[in-house]
Structures are given as structure tokens and as C-alpha cells.
């Protein structure tokens, strides 16, 4: 099997389409890299890019992209609702196929080193790649944002893993390995955010719910959502999240009217969901094509905006 890694860099840019095109060009040009998605958010003034491919190729493209971002973006002129500390704000690597966590950490370290050497941008290793307790959690590193980084980095507690001084216009970057998680939202047929908040508390681990569910409420234009991360879908299958929300919603007399996956999901994850609704003992008993599995999942979880382009294996040839 080919080793496959996913990379989801976040850039501090959104309206400058031409700038974004330049930044993502290495992902289109370098062989072994597949550009999956580019999602600019104007309120956040931030663009999230999803690529997958062979580890070395993805790393090389990522370093080039980071260099271009440091030339295109000037953080001294950047404003947006999302907290940020650099032109390339964060670079998460996720193991997808035939990659161990250890290999992915090593890849992220090599990438961080090369970003520093190529761009002179200081880099923190975060999440599973963190070398120090204080670097595990990205918001802790980012606290103070671009404007506060110069002072923050003078404190030896916050010396980056590569480099020492903030890049004057490109700021600071965090690079790290994180496990594959499923970002999943469930729509409730109500505008009452309190209902979504109560249900989120009932299903999430921190309040006694399922082991691998983190959840909170979100307000959309005309309804609310329970928005969640399933941190390990092998342990807590996603159908459980859906069925638990449906069950808890009954207490409030509220209907579940849809759901959506944010970003990519693995074929294993949706196979596991399909197995439940097809009354099969496990995902290994599901003998269907990817399209058929998607149909079962879309129908039973009322998923919108889902297609094979959101399944990792679609890109893994």
C-alpha cells in the first residue's frame, strides 16, 4: 500500500482570489499531491485548504506554499474574526493510509524545519508533535495572536521549536500531527440554541456522554445545530452520535432534520455507519460499492452535501 497523508493548512487570506491561487499552486503542480478542497471564509478572513497524497510530495508542496503565502500575505494588515498568528497559521498532518502516528510526527517535524529554513518563519510543533506540554494545545500557542507574538517569543517558555524571532510580515506558524477525526453536525428543527446546548451536554464525554464525542451548540440562519468532533470513530461510531441526538431531542419535542460532515471522512467510518442500518454485525460484513454505502448513510442520517468527493478513499488510487 502507498503511504498517504492528509494536510489541512489554514492561511490568513480570503478575498484575494489571485493570492490564494498562487498559494495553492504547488498543490496542483507537484506530482503525488491531490488538492481536495479550498474553502475561503470572508468573516474569518481565512482559507482552509485540504490536500492528500504521498508524504514527501505533500511536505515539499507544503513548504513551497508556505513560502508563497509569506510573500503574498502581510499580517500587519490582516484583520478577521478567527484568531491567527501567521500567514500560514497552522499546518496539521493527519495519517491516512499505511502511516503510523510516529511517521506522521516525523514528517511534521521535517516540514517544520524546512519551513523555517526556507522562509525564516519560526515554527512551533503542536498537538501530537509537541515536545513540551505547553505546545500541545494550539490556542495556547496562538494566544496573543500575531500582534502579541514579538513579546511572547522573548519569554523562554515560548521559544519556538525552530527559529527565535517573529517573521515581520508572516508571523509564526504551528505544524503538527493530529489524529483523523470526524467533524459532524446535526440539524435540529428549532431556533432555540438552548436545546442544542442541552443535547450537546447530554451526548459529550465531558458531561457523561459517549467517550469520543466533543460537542457544542451552533446557531445557523433559521435553525440550530449540535456541532461535534468524533475523535475516534473506531471506538464511537458516528451513527451513535446521530441516534443519541435523536433520542435526547425527543425530550424537547424537537425533530432532527438533517446532518453534515465537515471535511473528509474515511470509507471505514461510513461503512461502520452503514453496517448498523443494514443490520450487519460489523463494517466488514458490508459488501457494497462506495456509492451504495454513501446512499445508505445519506438516507439514514439525513446527510446533506455529501458525495464521494468527501471520502478520503476517492483520492487514494
When the beta carbons of 116 and 276 are compared against its own copies, the nearer one is 276
Helices (H), 86-203: 101-119, 138-142, 145-152, 193-203
Q: Are 132 and 155 in contact (CB under 8 A)?
A: no
Cα 32 to Cα 2, 58, 309, distances in angstroms? 11, 7, 18
When the beta carbons of 115 and 199 are compared against its own copies, the nearer one is 199
Helix-helix angle 290-301:267-277, to 10 degrees = 60
Shortest distance (Å) from residue 93 CB to its own copies? 24
When the beta carbons of 43 and 279 are compared against its own copies, the nearer one is 279
When the beta carbons of 48 and 199 are compared against its own copies, the nearer one is 199
SS3 breakdown of the chain: % helix, strand, coil, rounded to 5? 45, 25, 35
Q: Which residues have a Cβ under 8 Å from the Cβ of 122 and sit 6 or more positions away? A: 116, 153, 160, 162, 163, 164, 165, 166, 167, 172, 173
When the beta carbons of 20 and 274 are compared against its own copies, the nearer one is 274
Residue of 82, 223, 234, 304 marked catalytic: 82
**Per-position x/- string for 98-117, each x denoting binding to its own copies as judged by CB under 8 A, each - no binding:** --------------------
Residues between 145 and 174 that touch its own copies (CB under 8 A)? none
Shortest distance (Å) from residue 198 CB to its own copies? 7
Shortest distance (Å) from residue 246 CB to its own copies? 9
Q: Which residues have a Cβ under 8 Å from the Cβ of 210 and sit 6 or more positions away? A: 203, 204, 236, 240, 241, 244
**Which H or E run contains 298?**
helix 290-301
Considering only 279, 287, 289, 317, the residue that binds its own copies (CB under 8 A) is 279
Active site residue 82: yes
Cα 174 to Cα 113, 266, 315, distances in angstroms? 11, 25, 26
Displacement of CA 273 from its chain's centroid (Å):
21
Q: Are 257 and 188 in contact (CB under 8 A)?
A: yes
Considering only 198, 218, 257, 298, the residue that binds its own copies (CB under 8 A) is 198
User: How far apart (Å, rounded) are the C-alpha atoms in residues 178 and 136?
Assistant: 10
**Pairing verdict, β 46-53 and 33-41:** antiparallel
Shortest distance (Å) from residue 118 CB to its own copies? 41
Residues between 199 and 258 that touch its own copies (CB under 8 A)? 202, 205, 207-212, 232, 234-237, 240, 243-244, 247, 250-253
Grid cell digits, residue 97: 493510509
| Count of residues engaged in binding its own copies, rule: CB under 8 A | 27
Shortest distance (Å) from residue 76 CB to its own copies? 46
Stretch binding its own copies (CB under 8 A), from 22-30, 256-264, 278-286, 309-317: 278-286
When the beta carbons of 9 and 209 are compared against its own copies, the nearer one is 209
Considering only 280, 290, 300, 306, the residue that binds its own copies (CB under 8 A) is 280
Q: Are 115 and 63 in contact (CB under 8 A)?
A: yes
Considering only 164, 281, 289, 317, the residue that binds its own copies (CB under 8 A) is 281
Shortest distance (Å) from residue 215 CB to its own copies? 13
Binding site for its own copies (CB under 8 A): 198, 202, 205, 207-212, 232, 234-237, 240, 243-244, 247, 250-253, 275-276, 279-281
Which are the catalytic amino acids?
82
Amino acid at each position: 500500500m502507498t503511504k498517504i497523508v492528509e494536510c489541512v493548512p489554514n492561511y490568513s487570506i480570503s478575498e484575494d482570489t489571485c493570492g490564494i491561487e498562487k498559494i495553492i499552486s504547488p498543490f496542483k503542480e507537484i506530482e503525488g499531491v491531490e488538492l481536495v478542497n479550498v474553502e475561503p471564509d470572508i468573516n474569518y478572513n481565512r482559507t482552509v485548504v485540504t490536500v492528500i497524497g504521498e508524504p514527501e510530495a505533500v511536505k515539499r508542496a507544503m513548504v513551497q506554499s508556505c513560502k508563497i503565502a509569506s510573500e503574498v500575505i502581510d499580517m500587519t494588515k490582516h484583520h478577521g474574526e478567527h484568531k491567527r498568528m501567521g500567514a500560514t497559521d497552522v499546518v496539521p498532518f493527519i495519517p491516512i493510509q499505511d502511516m503510523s502516528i510516529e511517521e506522521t510526527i516525523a514528517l511534521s517535524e521535517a516540514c517544520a524545519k524546512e519551513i523555517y529554513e526556507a522562509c525564516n518563519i519560526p515554527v512551533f510543533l503542536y498537538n501530537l508533535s509537541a515536545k513540551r506540554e505547553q505546545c500541545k494545545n494550539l490556542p495556547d500557542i496562538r494566544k496573543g495572536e500575531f500582534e502579541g507574538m514579538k513579546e511572547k517569543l522573548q519569554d523562554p517558555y515560548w521559544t519556538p521549536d525552530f527559529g527565535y524571532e517573529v517573521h515581520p510580515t508572516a508571523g509564526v506558524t504551528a505544524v503538527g500531527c493530529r489524529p483523523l477525526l470526524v467533524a459532524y453536525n446535526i440539524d435540529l428543527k428549532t431556533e432555540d440554541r438552548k436545546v442544542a446546548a442541552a443535547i450537546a451536554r447530554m451526548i459529550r464525554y465531558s458531561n457523561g456522554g459517549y467517550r469520543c464525542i466533543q460537542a457544542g451548540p451552533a446557531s445557523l440562519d433559521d435553525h440550530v445545530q449540535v456541532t461535534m468532533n468524533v475523535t475516534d470513530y473506531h471506538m464511537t461510531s458516528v451513527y451513535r452520535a446521530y441516534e443519541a441526538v435523536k433520542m435526547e431531542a425527543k425530550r424537547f419535542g424537537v425533530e432532527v432534520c438533517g446532518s453534515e460532515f465537515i471535511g473528509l471522512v474515511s470509507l471505514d467510518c461510513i461503512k461502520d455507519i452503514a453496517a448498523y442500518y443494514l443490520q450487519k454485525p460489523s463494517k466488514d460484513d458490508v459488501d457494497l460499492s462506495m456509492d451504495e454505502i454513501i446512499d445508505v448513510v445519506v438516507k439514514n442520517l439525513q446527510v446533506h452535501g455529501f458525495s464521494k468527493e468527501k471520502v478520503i478513499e476517492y483520492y487514494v488510487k
